[in-house]
């Protein structure tokens, strides 16, 4: 801000910012005091609706650098050359808490990344977990209602959380992950990121591939125990946010090594798991990670509200060479985010500095609406036009996907080794005995907050189906706590 006298919103100098204008000394306040009215009115409108999920977060700008040639798999221009750099903006978040909630909680972390590419902004809106609780978008509002405050008590209720999870056996894998050692990251810098869904890459020749993104933290994974987190959440509710900002301020730039698992399209139909099921991973033995990039965060936002609160990310923001898969969760998300942005920030949200393309310009015929900035000046706002308006490229961003059958509310096709418990059991069996002990302690602690026996028993039953030993030890631990 330039130096000079304090002014009103319209730039007139302010004589007194300490005393409002009154009718006589000690008399009532006058409506002609523009400064007072303006300040009170602006203050009343400082908040916009918080994100319905992932309300609490922190952001940073950075640089993505290509480290290996992936042009055989995608024609995305920002991935076209080893050494090529692209500006990025990331927003990390927790999921369930409201805007003022503490950072150090057991909850997935959001990992939203915007690449400002020369072919438009590409958003990868992932989490720090490779899987999710459910596999159909139609269940998302119900699921989130159980994570948020109960309509009667106004509090988060363990009964609701575990009622839903225990009745949704497909959540067993993600819940096992969440209550394990990685469930409470020490900071946003010390966690991995995942695109989670399967996405499509397609190359210059028109070949398509299914891919899953991985971001491996170069800081090493560090987590908090439940007891450490409980202490920290009280002592410093902003722990993650503060840690990220300070690291960047002192030049200790966090970075992630970026890779993809790549599945040739022809292998999808017969793969042992449904490759579009978000509750499952692709074991690395089946599809190893191909490392191709480095993400470094190196600049803090100057204004948290403008750049973090008003930032928008959407899984539907693709660029040529990258596209969606038929994952039913992803398909629902392709609608939900743009809709949320229009409600939360407004129809011109994508024109704000943090959201607009940085390496190209948006050329659309959309106009006007709340807070339109007039950027198109007098240009024609229709197509076709004979005034040199923008033109279509006749080349789809992604390759078509073969479909068959009739319409209907169908479950996704099941594959040979699909079931809701196999990968949760595999995860449990991968853990050391100390890791299992902590997992069971965390689960038992949470389950002991549930008031109804039938919910507790049903929940334990799911873990028993994942692994007999898992179920047995959990049952004993819950009994010991609940008496």
- For binding to ligand HEM (CB under 6 A), which residues are involved? 51-54, 57, 91, 93, 110, 112, 125-127, 132, 137, 140, 196, 278, 311-313, 329, 332-333, 336-337, 340-341, 344
**Distance between CA atoms of residues 465 and 483, nearest Å:** 24
Q: Of the two residues 110 and 180, which places its CB atom closer to ligand HEM in the complex?
A: 110
Dist CA 292 CA 477 (whole Å): 44
Q: Which CB sits closer to ligand HEM, 64 or 470?
A: 64
Shortest distance, CB of residue 302 to ligand HEM, whole angstroms? 18
Q: Look up tokens 């509750």; give the residue.
A: 279
Q: How many residues does the chain have?
A: 483
Scanning 253-406, the segments in alpha helix (DSSP H) are: 304, 328-344
d(CA 474, CA 481): 11
> Would you say 165 and 86 are in contact if contact means Cβ atoms under 8 Å apart?
no
Minimum gap (Å) between residue 108 Cβ and ligand HEM: 8
CA–CA distance, 71 with 74 (Å, rounded to integer)? 5
Catalytic residue among 17, 19, 54, 298: 54
Query: CA 271, CA 282: separation in Å to the nearest integer?
Result: 10
**Closest distance to ligand HEM from the beta carbon of 300 (Å):** 16
Concerning whether 426 is annotated as a catalytic residue, the answer is: no
**What is the closest distance, in whole angstroms, from the C-beta atom of residue 105 to ligand HEM in the complex?**
16
Per-residue tokens: 191? 């966690």
- Look up 190 and say whether it is catalytic: no
| Complex with ligand HEM: residue 108 or 425, whichever CB lies closer | 108
Considering just the CA atoms, what is the radius of gyration of the chain in Å? Answer: 25
**Residue 223 corresponds to which tokens in the numbers above?**
């987590």
Q: With residue 460 as reference, give the H or E element that holds it.
A: helix 453-466
Sign of CA dihedral 461, 463, 465, 468: negative
Residue tagged active-site, from 121, 127, 348, 355: 127
Q: Which residue number has the CB closest to ligand HEM?
A: 110
Secondary structure letter of residue 306 according to DSSP = I
What are 301's two structure tokens? 């936002």
Residue closer to ligand HEM by CB (options 112, 442) is: 112
Answer whether 245's CB lies under 8 Å from 307's CB: no
* Closer of 310 and 465 to ligand HEM (Cβ): 310
User: 95 or 444, CB closer to ligand HEM?
Assistant: 95
The least CB distance from residue 15 to ligand HEM, in Å, is: 41
Contacts of 112 (CB under 8 A, 6+ apart): 54, 90, 91, 92, 93, 123, 124, 125, 126, 311, 313
Query: Shortest Cβ distance from residue 341 to ligand HEM (Å)?
Result: 5
**In the complex, minimum distance from the CB of residue 142 to ligand HEM, in angstroms, rounded to a whole number:** 11
Is the Cβ of residue 201 or residue 470 nearer to ligand HEM in the bound state? 201
What residues are labeled active site? 54, 127
């Amino acid at each position: 801000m330039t130096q000079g006298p304090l002014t009103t919103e319209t730039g007139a100098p302010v004589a007194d910012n300490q005393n409002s204008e009154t009718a006589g000394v000690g008399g009532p306040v006058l409506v002609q005091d523009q400064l007072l009215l303006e300040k009170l009115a602006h203050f009343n409108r400082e908040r916009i609706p918080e994100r319905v999920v992932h309300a609490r977060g922190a952001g940073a700008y950075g640089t993505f650098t290509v480290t290996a040639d992936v042009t055989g798999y995608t024609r995305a221009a920002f991935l076209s050359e080893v050494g090529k750099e692209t500006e990025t903006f990331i927003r990390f978040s927790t999921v369930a808490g409201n805007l003022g909630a503490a950072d150090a909680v057991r909850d997935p972390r959001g990992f939203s990344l915007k690449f400002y590419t020369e072919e438009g902004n590409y958003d990868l809106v992932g989490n720090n977990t490779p899987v999710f609780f459910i596999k159909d978008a139609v269940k998302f509002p119900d699921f989130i209602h159980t994570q948020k405050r109960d309509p009667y008590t106004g509090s988060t209720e363990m009964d609701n959380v575990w009622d839903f999870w225990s009745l949704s056996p497909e959540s067993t894998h993600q819940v096992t992950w969440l209550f394990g050692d990685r469930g409470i990251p020490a900071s946003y810098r010390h966690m991995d990121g995942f695109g989670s869904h399967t996405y499509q890459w397609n190359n210059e020749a028109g070949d398509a591939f299914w891919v899953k993104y991985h971001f491996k933290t170069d800081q090493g994974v560090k987590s908090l125990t439940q007891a450490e987190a409980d202490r920290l959440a009280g002592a410093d509710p902003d722990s993650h946010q503060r840690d990220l900002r300070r690291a960047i301020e002192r030049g200790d730039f966090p970075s992630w090594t970026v890779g993809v698992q790549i599945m040739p399209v022809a292998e999808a139909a017969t793969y042992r798991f449904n490759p579009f099921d978000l509750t499952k991973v692709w074991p690395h033995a089946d599809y190893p990670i191909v490392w191709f990039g480095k993400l470094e965060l190196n600049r803090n936002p100057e204004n948290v509200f403008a750049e973090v609160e008003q930032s928008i990310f959407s899984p539907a923001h693709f660029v040529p060479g990258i596209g969606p898969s038929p994952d039913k969760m992803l398909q629902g998300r392709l609608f939900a985010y743009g809709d949320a942005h229009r409600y939360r920030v407004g129809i011109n949200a994508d024109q704000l500095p943090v959201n607009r393309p940085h390496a190209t310009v948006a050329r659309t015929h959309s106009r006007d609406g709340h807070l339109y900035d007039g950027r198109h000046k007098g240009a024609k706002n229709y197509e076709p036009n004979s005034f040199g308006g923008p033109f279509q490229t006749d080349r789809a961003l992604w390759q078509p996907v073969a479909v068959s059958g009739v319409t209907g509310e169908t479950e996704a096709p099941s594959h040979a080794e699909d079931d809701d418990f196999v990968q949760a059991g595999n995860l449990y069996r991968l853990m050391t005995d100390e890791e299992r002990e902590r997992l069971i302690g965390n689960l038992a602690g949470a389950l002991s907050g549930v008031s109804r026996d039938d919910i507790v028993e049903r929940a334990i039953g799911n873990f028993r189906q994942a692994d007999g030993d898992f179920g047995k030890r959990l049952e004993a631990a819950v009994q010991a706590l609940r008496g």
